[in-house]
Structure formats: C-alpha cells, structure tokens
Amino acid sequence: MTALKVGIVSLGCNKNRVDSEIALGLMQDAGYRLTPDPAEADILMVNTCGFIGPAKEESIDTILEMAQYKQTGKCRLLVVSGCLAQRYEQALMDDMPEIDVLLGVNQYQCLPQAIEKALKTGERVASVEDPKAFYEHRRVLTTPSYSAYIRIGEGCSNRCTFCAIPLIRGNYRSRAQEDILSEIRALADQGVSEHVLVAQDTTRYGTDHGGHTTLPALLTKASEIDGVHWLRVLYCYPDETNEALLDFLAENSKACPYLDLPIQHINDTILRRMHRRGTSADIRRCVRMAHEKGITLRTSLIVGFPGETEAQFQELLDFMEEARFDRLGAFAYSPEEGTPAADMPDQIPEEVKQERLDRLMTLQSRISLRANQARIGEETEVLITGKQDSLYRGRSRREAPETDGEILVSSARALPIGSYVRARLTSADVYDMRGVVL
C-alpha cells in the first residue's frame, strides 16, 4: 500500500515552527510521506497562531483554504494544531466541521495515533491538555539546511497585561541543558552551521530552578560544539540581560553580536500598566552597555496601549532617537480576549493607534538608514542564502533570519548557498545593504 502524503502549513513565530518540525518528524517516522504541495496531500495540517487578532484571522483563513483541498485535491483529513487550537478548542470544533483532528500545543506526540483513529473510524478527534514538560523528538527542518532554530524554553511567566501566551502555553519552563546541547550537536553533524536560540523569554533560562539566568553558561557550552559557526540568541529581557551575556555576544568568536531586546515601551507608567519586568532605567542600562560593546540592537514596540498619552508616546519617540535601534518592529495595540489590558479604561481609537504607528515607523526608517550608512566600508563575514539575478543574497552576524534586511553582494566567483565569505559593504538603504565579495 502506498504511504499517505502529509503537508503542513506553519503559521506564527519560530517557536511554532519548531513544533511543526517535530510534527513532521513524527509523521515521517510513522511511515507517512511529506509533501510541500497541498494539492498532493492526503492529510493537511495547519499549525496555528493565536497571538493577536490578525494572526487569529490568518489562522482561520488558512484552515478554510486548506479545507478546500477536500474538494479540489486529495485531502482526506484536515488537522489543526497549535495556539489557536489550544485556546479555542470547543469553538473551533463547533464552528468548523471541516476540522477532523484538533490538537493543542502539547499533544504533538499524539498526532500519528489521532490521525490513524480519524482515518479508521471517521470520527473527529480533539485533544487539548494543559502544557507540561518538553517532548523531545527528531525534527524535519523547514529552514534552509545551514540554519535552525533551537528552542531552549517554553511558556511564559511574565504575565504582561496585553499578552495571551501564558494562557495558551502555560508558565515558563527551561528545557534540559543536555537535551539542548544534544540537539545542537546532531544538527551540526547534519550540516547546520547557524543555530538560533529561541524561547518566549530566553533570558529567563534557568531561573525556574532558582537564581538568575544561566543563558551565558548554556551559550558558552554550545559554542564549544564542533560545526557550530554562528550562535544567535533572540528575545532577551532587560532585567536579566547582564554583563556576562553581553560580553559573550561581543567577544565569543562564534557569537552573533546581536541583542534582540523587546522593550515594548519606555515610559515607566506604561511599563507598569503592561506589567513589564524592569523599568526604563533597566532598558537604558542594557542599551548603553550594548552600544559600548559594539552590539547590534533590535527591539519591538507597542503603540496605542490603553491610556497612552501623546506625551508618553513622544517620550517613546525621543528614546528611539537616543537608543538608535538598528532594527525595530512595531505594532498597534490589539486587545486580546482574557487579558487584563483588554478591560482597561482609556482604550485608544484605532485611527490614533495607526497614526502613531506611522509616525514611529517613519522615524525608525531614518534611524535605520543612518545605521546602515555608517557601516559602508566595513568588511564582514556574510552567509550566502540565495541568488537574485547577478547578485547573491546573504546576511552577516548583524542580521537575523526572516526579520531583518539582507546584504546583496557581487562576486567574481560562484558562491555555494550556505557558504561564508568575506565582503566589503559599499552602499545602504533603509533595510538592505550591498557589497562586494573580497
């Protein structure tokens, strides 16, 4: 009998991508064949995001889009998993009869059995449990062969008033260090050279066992693994971003000197209303130390949080000029069901939120352009990620995958994808840079 084909659509963050890769590994080990073509799939899976309103809408739209392959393709079974499934199990099962199997964020190990049951009996299967310990399994990478995300923690205990993640994924828990290092070794052995460490809050690593972050110690051990060329860490919080971590990022030969510091705001009143750990002084301390050590800075911001005044928003703009973030993502506040901020008074009108977002991003465009122009003439190592006409696309240690701009380089010789070359940067725009291979 020919093995059934499985296709997957993974939505949302790179932590969700790791879940999708585990699901693919489970399905492959269970004897299913994998296909990137939804029209050829016997089983289609949508790993959903439920973080903010637009992400939920995208998840619903994707479920409905994949369900159409029951009529136009070979699809016999539609599986829905992930954050949206975890949070809205009953509503999805009631309102979307197209769904045959529904699993939460902690049930991927049940996937083969749930599919087999649905195929044999024709019954709909739903399983959503409270998130618990990590489930370790071989992954099928959906990233390029030279790069992979390494999840070091799950859940979040910060309880920011705007965020539903703790409601979906539970409290923070650190993954066992040896499991992380074993996975990095295995991925390095199969050719992965860039390892990107992720969690909802990477700087909380180890704190659930008492004391302060042990992220620097984990990074140091990871850097000693043969085959690791670049180590990158995302989602650091100001109060646990200490000098040991910044020194590692600035000085270790395998570290990317890149600090992803999602501060959300700078006004202390807003930070308290958001229930953010730390203060504006903590943020300024991190930014100052990062600049002193030559580390590239990225942040994310929320505009239009309930009660945000024009003066508080202007304080944020002034801080952006002061901090000079090299990379920045910003979002208009989105009220999420079940979160304290959704019930706060003084909700900001949508048109005001959008106007503030436009002003903020216009300012960041100028800051980003200045930062990129300051790099002209720099010689740097570039990871080659693709080709665009006569130019090669790539990234340096100062550009994270998927979120930041690229470096387009010219070369007199052919460059293999996934190779590392030296290049001189010759020109810049707001997001991307150009260079020439040396």
Cα 320 to the center of its chain, rounded Å: 23
pTM for the whole structure:
0.93
Q: Find the helix or strand (DSSP H, E) in which 328 lies.
A: strand 327-332
Domains of the chain by start residue, with CATH: 5-127 (3.40.50.12160), 147-373 (3.80.30.20), 379-437 (2.40.50.140)
Q: What is the mean pLDDT of each run of 10 residues along the chain (438 residues)?
A: 88 91 94 94 94 85 94 94 91 93 88 93 87 80 96 92 89 94 97 97 91 93 98 93 95 97 97 93 95 97 98 98 96 93 96 98 97 97 95 97 96 96 97 96
Taken in order 132, 136, 137, 138, the sign of the CA dihedral is positive
DSSP H helical ranges for 53-128: 53-67, 69-72, 83-87, 89-95, 111-121
Cα 233 to the center of its chain, rounded Å: 11
pLDDT recorded at residue 133? 65
